[in-house]
Amino acid sequence: MSMRPDYEIAVQELGIIDALAVYDPHIAGTPPLDIHTEASDIDILFCTLDHNGVDFH
């Protein structure tokens, strides 16, 4: 069984929340609900009023 880092540690180490700060990011999905599995991913919700200024791939 491989040990994945806690989602909060992974998000912090990657700087994702800081990088998306202008979009008011929030972690969602199974990890914050404590119902995740080894295959769970991390969902990030964010908001913008400038849809033309967002360029995600």
More confident residue, 53 or 6: 6
Question: What is the rounded average pLDDT of the residues 19-39?
Answer: 87
Q: Which amino acid is it at 7?
A: Y
Residue 36 binned pLDDT confidence (cut-offs 50, 70, 90) = confident
Residue closest to 26 by CA, chosen among 57, 47, 51, 52: 47
| CA–CA distance, 37 with 55 (Å, rounded to integer) | 30
Per-residue pLDDT at 1: 44
Q: What's this model's pTM, rounded to 2 decimal places? A: 0.69
Per-residue pLDDT at 6: 86
